[in-house]
Structure 1
Amino acid sequence: MSTKNSLGMTLQDSITTIFGRQSQTLSRLGTITDIDYDAANLHVDIGGDNGPLTGVRWINTYTPIINDYVVLLQVGNGWWVLGGNSKDQRSYTKRYETARLLPTRYWQGVYHPGTETWDWYSEPNQRVGIEDLGGGNASIYQYNALWRFDFSEIPSGAEILSSTFDVSVGIGPDAMQTDAVLHMHANETLPSGVPASWIPGEIDVSLNGNVTQRFALPEMWLNSLITGSAKGVGLSPPPSAYGTVYVSPVITVGYAIQEAAG
């Protein structure tokens, strides 16, 4: 059964009305990538290495839309879009990738309980934990580590398969392990004062010296980091975490990209 449009014309009626007896030689399937309404023509990607078809016209029973998968007909030396295709008939493959993201910035925050003040440094050789030099609050130093990560390497539309936060732990000057809290932050630049940009939501971890430890990143965390609402992660000691360790992080993301077969 032939389907008629709002003008009461079938597709064959439209083709006959527009093209008459002109030579109709080839048909193709393709995706609309650009619309020039002033010139009344389209760019249509039909795959292969020759680039998109340009100067493509469309019949008046079809309204072009970017990314529409369409049926094309060659008439004489020109191409015409006849309409959208109900199903993308191209074959697809998945390409699997792993991104290892190292920090783009390192910030060491030192809290002094005696004066309730903070000092911040751009320091890649970072410590986490609490150091007590034996002179009361004035001699206690709480070490916090923050890292900035850039997730622009992850392509838009990628299917995320896994995400982990790995931290390599070296022996500190006075301990081989310490407790810590893993959290996200929204710092764009070196913090100052109390790190108010820490984002609610924490994971308690235990860091053992000379061991690389892996923690799964919750989906909400990963989404925040990819979209940019969070800028990175940090490690901070709870009040009882005496002893310090040196830490070095990496975030690993496994993902898949769907690609149309050439």
Structure 2
Amino acid sequence: MNGLAPPSIGQMLTWDFSSLSPIVLLGAVLALWYWWSMHRVRARGRLWPWYRTACFLAGCLLLIAVTGSKVESYGNELFSVWMFQHLTLSMAIPPLWVLGSPGLLLLRSTSHRGPGRNVLALALLALRSRPARWMLHPGFTIPVFLFSYYGIYLSPIFDAVSGLPAGHVFLEIFFLASGLLFIMPVLATGPLPVRQSYLGRCFDLFVEMPLHVFIGVVLMMATKPLLTTFVNPPPEWGVDVMQDQQLAGALAWS
């Protein structure tokens, strides 16, 4: 991307207002909604655990940072930076959000009268719907989560989608959604269509973790670039494409 200095930690931590992702707005809106809802609950004399607020807001800040700083710009050029974004969106932010129990906060903060009653009715209808049961079933969540690695990076899908005008943002949203769908049945304490047993949740993690780690091995052992999107970083950066791919694999493996 034109105008970017050679990559460094300092450069990536600066803000890039010229190419802000619309996902930044999502993070800001969710943080404001959560803060407002938490104060509504407390104004009614009910307690809301501070750690839930801390977890959810940390997830929002992480989302804003990883898509609003120059990490977003360098993620268009370097596989390793993109993998860092992918892992953050799918494995760091979703658990923080789920531990924040936003669904439970919605139920406690929304009025049971007037428009609030309709909001709650719609939320409960969606929660109890057949699509919700299907989308939160391990038979769906685990394959989708694994597809976000194997299906995306070991096929032409990534290059095809990332080349579209909004392809980068679409992939970010997909990774965030796949992470949420996978972790909700495992960590959620709020209402769910179907709640898994403790052993079932452990089994989900047991099945997913080794398969997730193996994609890192595939990337590190590859003898040629797997994605054409990252084969031509700016020459003045002096980036070795294969070393960058191996770094991406090491991040996925870790």
Query: TM-score range, shorter-chain basis?
Result: under 0.3
Higher RCO, 1 or 2 (CA under 8 Å, sep at least 6)? Answer: 2
Between Structure 1 and Structure 2, which shows a larger proportion of strand residues? 1
Structure showing greater radius of gyration is 1
Between Structure 1 and Structure 2, which shows a larger proportion of helix residues? 2
* TM-score, L = length of structure 1: 0.19
